[in-house]
Amino acid sequence: MPRLIGQTIMLREYQAEDISAICAWVNDESTTRYLSTRYWPPQTMVDTQEFLSRMLQSSHNAYNFVIADRETARYIGQLDMFRVDWRLRQGEIGMVIADAGERGRGIGTEALLLMQRFAFRTLGLERLELEVHMQNAAALRCYEKAGFTLEGVKRHAFFSDGQFCDVGMMSILRHEFEQRTADHSNA
């Protein structure tokens, strides 16, 4: 799998050494609070090892990347295109910035833009989509900044903090990505 290099980060392959960094966040409620139920604590060491083992295997229907520091390759988080529908030319993604100290610095937006370039220009996809917890204001801002549009809301589709919550469906299309890229290069 190629490494996708940005200005401050890179998207790289998972490595066995990432286990300790992943273990550091998978049971942290502030990090997993808005993530899908596959990350609900408690996550045992075996759960985390099995996850990493799956990520170390290649697949033609998924593209799994670690978000890493460009200079040191240090694990920061992950951005996975965990489902690709080749017939419809679309992919579904999920992202986590593992360390709270790394959030709010533009890392997520940069990672999403790298993924978009890969998905649209290398893989030839037409659409990328994701789900977002509607109370996760920081994630909504990040996704909008990266060009994603809110398409709709699934009401009471997630349970968090003792209550049912809404989940938004967001997407970006290839021509929207290309237009944004052209606009930024002309600015």
Q: Which residues contact 144 (CB under 8 A, 6 or more apart)?
A: 150
* CA–CA separation, 44 and 60 (whole Å): 28
Average pLDDT per consecutive 10 residues, the chain (187 residues; last block may be shorter): 91 94 84 71 82 81 93 95 95 93 93 98 97 94 97 93 92 96 75
**According to the model, what pLDDT value does residue 37 have?**
63
Give me the phi and psi of 77, to 5 degrees please: 180, -160
pTM confidence score:
0.91
The radius of gyration of the chain from alpha carbons, rounded to an integer in Å, stands at 16
Q: DSSP secondary structure string, 9-58?
A: EEEE---GGGHHHHHHHTT-HHHHTTS-GGGPSPPPHHHHHHHHHHHHS-
**According to the model, what pLDDT value does residue 93 have?**
97
